[in-house]
Structure 1
Amino acid sequence: MDSTAAALFDSYHQDYEHIIRNVKQILEKDAQQQFGEQRKATLRRVELDLDSADDLISQLEIEVQGIPASIRPQFSSRLKQAKIDMNRTKRLAKDMHNQVSRGDLLGPNKRFNMSSDSPYDDANERTRLLAGHERLNDASRRLQDSTRLALETEDAGADILRALHIQGEQIANARGTLNSADTSIDRASGTIQKMIRQMYKTRFILGAIGVVLVIVVALILYFKLIRH
């Protein structure tokens, strides 16, 4: 499970870096050469890409929890840097939005009107939208895989807890049996001690009776043989 979490983290991180690189290129180069509605459309695509990047950041936060503690710091550092890059890119996109808003206040731009009908821009936009849609599908599939893995892990954990509960009951039963055995042994030991004391008492009584009989026989012989 741990290796799977690390592998998923790497996969999500690669997708995230790919999206962020494309967004930065669009904001720093492509969008700078566009105007009016063309730039607005580009910024809308940027917003979709940033939403996908946000989803990937969330996945990175989930996967980093399943990575072994011994190697988790390096992945946490990568996650932290990814969040920093994300915030910088969002600020760059926000600045571009502000530029567009100021441009709307100043009125339409003739350069955009001359180039907005170019079929190459429409084809490029469709290509980027399709690419963004494909990345979203990939992220969705990975999210489903991660969810499935989490459910399987939860089921395995539940099975382990049930097994531990059963073992706990068995240990408790065995402990009760041992306690009962200890009680029985104590009772048997007490009974044996009583029997030993009774045996010594019986021996003493028999010995006393034997002594008395010997004395009686000796007296009888004395009176019959000697006194006679």
Structure 2
Amino acid sequence: MDAPGGSELFESYEQDYEAIKVSITERLNTSGSQNGEPKKQTLRAADREIDEASEILQQMEMELLNLPQSSRTRLQARLRGYKSVLERLRQTLKRAQSTSRSTSDRDELLGGLSGGSDLDAASMDQRSRLLNGTDRLAESSRRLQDTHKIALETESIGAGVLGDLRGQREQIIHTRNTLLESDSSIDKASRTLKGMARRMATNKLITASIIIVLVCLILFVLYRKIFG
């Protein structure tokens, strides 16, 4: 799990880088008081550690790809600072190596005979560090694969959700159309009922008129018989 504000793996790389930077600085400082082959051995070891530090910075760049943009921006600034410091150490090493080239052939030969075991030990140490870097690279690759897998699963879920939403939208449209048709039918029925009510009212008026006329006729006939 990522640490607050960054990555635990990135912070682990930072610790390794800081340790190597301290070692490089100490070697460069030590070489200033050395001569001949011991100085060359110290500078070669510093050169190897600078290469290793450069590899660690590359691992840190890869790890930044796994981080959110908010953390990535801040950590990129720190990474640029580490690169700047490493470049200054590399320039200091080049100047020290240029100075050490004035060592005599005899000192180089004797130094080579006495420094073979140290070179072998340094080679083993470099191999161990390279293997460690390879393991970290494999871990970063696994993290990228897991992230890609999660992204694919999220895409699949999103597609399913969009499909469900599309189906619900079609159901809503169908329901809306049904309601519109129902409203139209209700309006037609309402108009029909109103027409029937008007006809019934008209029929009642006609019937009442007929009854009134008949009553008047009956009264007229009775009047004629009685008073005729």
Give the TM-score, by structure 1 length: 0.78
Q: Alpha-carbon deviations, 1:166-208, whole Å to 9, x = none?
A: 2122212212221221222122111111111111111000110
Quick one: which of 24, 27, 35 aligns to 2:21? 27
Check the 8 A contact 2:2/2:8 in 1, yes or no.
no
Quick one: which of 75, 79, 84 aligns to 1:86? 79
Which residue does the alignment assign to 2:127? 126
Query: Offset of 1:162 from its aligned partner?
Result: 1.8
Q: Alpha-carbon deviations, 1:96-127, whole Å to 9, x = none?
A: 22223334544538699644662211111111
Check the 8 A contact 1:31/1:42 in 2, yes or no.
no
Q: Which amino acid aligns with 2:125?
A: N
Which residue does the alignment assign to 1:154? 155
**Largest Rg, 1 or 2:** 2
Q: Alpha-carbon deviations, 1:48-93, whole Å to 9, x = none?
A: 211111111221126xxxxxxxxxxxxx4x6555334322221111
Within-5 A mapping of 1:113-192: 114=112, 115=115, 118=118, 119-192=120-193
Which residue does the alignment assign to 1:57? 64
Query: Offset of 1:36 from its aligned partner?
Result: 4.3
Matched, 1:17 2:11: yes
Give identity over the alignment, percent. Answer: 27
95-104 vs 121-130, which moves further: 95-104
Give the TM-score, by structure 2 length: 0.78
Taking a change above 3 Å as real, the CA distance of residues 224 and 9 of structure 1, as seen in their structure-2 partners, is farther
Q: Distance in 2 between matches of 1:195 and 1:157?
A: 57
132-141 vs 152-161, which moves further: 152-161
Q: Which amino acid aligns with 2:159?
A: A
Q: Distance in 1 between matches of 2:166 and 2:186?
A: 30
Check the 8 A contact 2:24/2:50 in 1, yes or no.
no
Query: Offset of 1:158 from its aligned partner?
Result: 1.8
Q: Distance in 1 between matches of 2:220 and 2:3?
A: 111
Q: Distance in 1 between matches of 2:2 and 2:152?
A: 16
Q: Which amino acid aligns with 2:179?
A: L
Which residue does the alignment assign to 1:47? 54
Q: Distance in 1 between matches of 2:12 and 2:3?
A: 14
Which residue does the alignment assign to 2:197? 196
Q: Distance in 2 between matches of 1:222 and 1:185?
A: 55
Q: Distance in 2 between matches of 1:109 and 1:24?
A: 32
Q: Distance in 2 between matches of 1:172 and 1:59?
A: 43
Q: Distance in 2 between matches of 1:140 and 1:188?
A: 72
Q: Alpha-carbon deviations, 1:128-180, whole Å to 9, x = none?
A: 00001001111111111111112111211221122122212221221222122
Instruction: Note the aligned Cα RMSD (angstroms).
Output: 2.7
Structure 1: 5+ residue runs without aligned partners?
Answer: 1-6, 63-75
Q: Distance in 1 between matches of 2:123 and 2:102?
A: 19
Question: Relative contact order, CA 8 A, sep 6+: which one is greater?
Answer: 1
Q: What SS class does the counterpart of residue 60 from structure 1 fall into?
A: coil
